[in-house]
Amino acid sequence: AFEGLTERLQGAISGLRRKGKVTDADLRDTMREIRMALLDADVNYTVVKEFVRNVREKASGANVLEGLNPAQQIVSIVNDELVEMMGDEATPLNKSPKIPTVIMMVGLQGAGKTTTAGKLANKLKREQNARPFMIAADVYRPAAIQQLQTIGEQIDVPVFELGTDVDPRDIVRQGLDAAREAKADYVFIDAAGRLQIDEALMQELADIKDIAQPDEIMLVVDAMTGQNATETAEGFNERLGITGVALTKLDGDTRGGAALSIRAVTGKPIKFVGQGEKMDDLDVFYPDRMASRILGMGDMMTLIEKAQKDYDEKQAEETMEKMKSSTFDFNDFLDQMEQVQNMGPMEDLIKMIPGMANNPALKNVQMDPKDMEHIKAIVYSMTPAERENPDLLNPSRRRRLAAGSGRPIVEVNRMIKQFNEMKKMMGQVLNGNTQGMEQMMGA
Ligand code: GDP
Ligand code: MG
């Protein structure tokens, strides 16, 4: 997601870099480009207007024109504004003082309500040892109940259902009783959706809200629907008073507008983002990390957290230190690769590395697990000394690696080149975000 927006924002700002002295007119041009980039990314018009006004205000207040490095200052102002626009801090799931916490899932058909209920239940179960419980209250969509049951079996969470012939209000009443009986601590109500907001749906949801008194009304919106996502959020919020948003399908080809507009338009926080179809593919939404991602500064924190799932913190810190001081060698690289292989699709991870999301060389890259095996084969063919000191790898040693790994020499050369580039880039970025980014933009 966001590649288009990232490229445009970087382009807009890098224009300033080429100037020795930045004039008021230059700044106006830059702001116009940023404005167009945001509008083309489907960010809500009013939100864009306010955003541009704020950035311009801060930029003139900060004396950007007289500053030594106008582009860098603008990056930092834009970054701060993006973070603020998305709500500053991560907002946790609401929790009832006494069990159960009731979470009502609402949203249009196909947005991802059922899937997200399952993902969230799974997350609570895994991270907090919670005892979730799900109520199948969508009696209209064909096979909706079956879908929730399948998910329930998969994550081992009980599902309450009364078929499709019972009024959803009664299902919710009885389901809540059953949940209390089962001593569940989180209850998910998988309510119905429609293709569009309509009165019958809203009335049903309002009734369910009255009955269940949910602690959280979680609106699920599909990030791929662009401007419509924001309008949907406004509609549901006006009628039901949502308490949080889960933004789904951020793994898809979305332009980013929904992530950037929803908070500003509804005043309600995005709490989670869905980034895939699997039960593990749900993450807490961090405005600052999202801003870095949008600006192409990568999302190192998320990457490191993913690694920490089966990696201890100390080791991760050591790796960071090595990257910073550029002592990262092929042994670390092998370690990393093994960690990364347990973490999920390579393409997604690569995009979190600073500078990689927009790296043209990786634009349409499909990381084949076979490629990883080839890279490993090359590293395994290195002597311990070569692994610790990649500079030793002269042409004759490289030929030996090619023979040893059974890979063509061009592939060996390419791999070493990429390793060196990665090492350099990480060193730069980790030693001061904006500076590293500056260099990338200038490149
Ligand atoms: P509902 O009608 O709102 O309950 O939507 P579903 O939960 O049935 O989801 C509709 C489709 O979107 C399903 O095929 C899901 O697997 C898919 N889906 C949901 N969330 C995500 C996501 O974050 N990423 C991707 N790629 N697909 C998702
Ligand atoms: Mg559903």
- For the chain, the three-class secondary structure string (H helix, E strand, C coil) is CCHHHHHHHHHHHHHHHCCCCCCHHHHHHHHHHHHHHHHHCCCCHHHHHHHHHHHHHHHHHCCCCCCCCHHHHHHHHHHHHHHHHCCCCCCCCCCCCCCCEEEEEECCCCCCHHHHHHHHHHHHHHHHCCCEEEEEECCCCCCHHHHHHHHHHHHCCCEECCCCCCCHHHHHHHHHHHHHHCCCCEEEEEECCCCCCCHHHHHHHHHHHHHHCCCEEEEEEEHHHCHHHHHHHHHHHHHHCCCEEEEECCCCCCCCHHHHHHHHHHCCCEEEEECCCCCCCEEECCHHHHHHHHCCCCCHHHHHHHHHHCCCHHHHHHHHHHHHCCCCCHHHHHHHHHHHHCCCCHHHHHHHCCCCCCCHHHCCCCCCHHHHHHHHHHHHCCCHHHHHCHHHCCHHHHHHHHHHHCCCHHHHHHHHHHHHHHHHHHHHHHCCHHHHHHHHHHC
CATH topology of domain 300-442: 434 Repressor (Amino-terminal Domain) (1.10.260)
Q: Is the CB of 112 under 6 A from ligand 1?
A: yes
**Structure confidence by residue, pLDDT tens digits, 268-315:** 999 999 999 999 999 999 998 888 888 877 655 565 555 555 455 566
Q: Is the CB of 249 under 6 A from ligand 1?
A: yes
Under-50 pLDDT residues of the chain: 310, 433-443
Ligand 1 atom nearest residue 108's Cα: 3
Ion ligand 2: residues, CB within 5 A, are 113-114, 144
Model pLDDT, residue 442? 41
Model pLDDT, residue 20? 61
Instruction: Flag whether the ipTM exceeds 0.90.
Output: yes
Q: What is the CATH code for 3-85?
A: 1.20.120.140
Write the residue with the smallest CA distance to atom 16 of ligand 1. 277
Model pLDDT, residue 296? 75
Q: Any idea where the domains of the chain sit in the sequence?
A: 3-85, 101-294, 300-442
Model pLDDT, residue 218? 98
360 CA distance to ligand 2 middle (Å): 38
Identify the CATH assignment for 101-294 out of 3.40.50.150, 3.40.50.720, 3.40.718.10, 3.40.50.300.
3.40.50.300
Model pLDDT, residue 322? 73
Q: Is the CB of 253 under 6 A from ligand 1?
A: no
Q: Is the CB of 235 under 6 A from ligand 1?
A: no
Which bound ligand lies closest to the C-alpha atom of 119?
1
281 CA distance to ligand 1 middle (Å): 11
